[in-house]
Amino acid sequence: QTVVTQEPSLTVSPGGTVTLTCASSTGAVTGLNYPNWFQQKPGQPPRALIYSASNKHSWTPARFSGSLLGGKAALTLTGVRPEDEAEYYCLLYYGDAQLVFGGGTKLTVL
Amino acid sequence: EVQLVESGGGLVQPGGSLRLSCAASGFTISSYWMHWVRQAPGKGLVWVSHINSDGTLTDYADSVKGRFTISTDNAKRTIYLQMNSLSADDTAVYYCAGGPYTNYLPYWGQGTRVIVSS
């Protein structure tokens, strides 16, 4: 069973920069996993932020960026705002038509 | 404006069945891959199933394979999730999501809550 691993929690100061990562139990995350990133706030559905590792949706704030870093997918927030406090999930695609979410990272802005 | 609205959730006894619906507007589901994703109380997101744009290809997470069936009615712009042999482990908010490719999920509904309990 494929497992996608994220940091359980991270804390960042307002105005700071933080990087969240997403690792796969099958090996290095590549562009063929088409990494997606989602933000979810309490009581709300997920909101898509990033697709195909580094592409932003039209509604994604500029301070969010995605990349592949050291065999993992990464989501970087630059100039963090209090409203960025949320749970962040990555989603990886596997060639056998399976999609697997990571366990989520709870980002605290403090 | 793209909108997805789920319905059909509720309280069901263990071993029972439920059919969820997801009504789409603002786009043509016959051009999109559509997914169901669930989230148990206090837990993370779990991909459940998807169906391709013409309804000919479906796939399921191992945890629901053989019990859940995804389908689509393009004329009604609606996708469905038939859930059978439900157990407490299926208790969750079920979200409908979609996009033009299976690995691209930009659009999400608000979710419908399913509680499996006696």
Residue type for position B118: S
3-state helix, strand, coil in chain B (%, to 5): 10, 55, 40
What is the pLDDT, as a whole number, of residue B75? 86
Contact A75, A19 (CB under 8 A): yes
Q: Is the confidence at residue A70, as pLDDT, over 90?
A: yes
Which residues of A fall within a CB distance of 8 Å from B103?
34, 36, 51-52, 93, 99
Distance in Å, alpha carbon of B55 to nearest chain A alpha carbon: 15
pLDDT digits (tens, 9 = 90+) for B38-64: 999 999 999 999 999 888 999 999 999
Closest CA to A88 of A28, A35, A15: A35
The token pair at A63 is 């301070």
Distance in Å, alpha carbon of B85 to nearest chain A alpha carbon: 22
pLDDT digits (tens, 9 = 90+) for B83-98: 999 999 999 999 999 9
Contact B51, B29 (CB under 8 A): no
Cβ atoms within 10 Å of A101's Cβ, excluding its own: 21
Tally C-beta pairs within 8 A across A and B. Answer: 62
Instruction: Choose from A90, A99, A100 for mutation: most chain B CBs within 10 A.
Output: A99
Q: Is the confidence at residue A1, as pLDDT, over 90?
A: no
pLDDT digits (tens, 9 = 90+) for B108-118: 999 999 999 99
What is the pLDDT, as a whole number, of residue B35? 96
Q: Residue range B22-32: average pLDDT?
A: 90
Cβ atoms within 10 Å of A98's Cβ, excluding its own: 16
Where does the pLDDT of residue B33 fall: very low under 50, low under 70, confident under 90, or very high at 90 and above? Answer: very high
Q: Residue range A29-47: average pLDDT?
A: 97
Q: Can you say whether residue A39 is alpha, beta or left, with left for phi > 0 and alpha for psi between -120 and 50 degrees? A: beta
Find the closest chain A residue to B60 by CA distance. Answer: A98
Cβ atoms within 10 Å of B91's Cβ, excluding its own: 17
Q: Is the confidence at residue A96, as pLDDT, over 70?
A: no
Sign of the CA dihedral running B19, B22, B23, B28: negative
Q: Where are the alpha helices (DSSP H) in chain B?
A: none
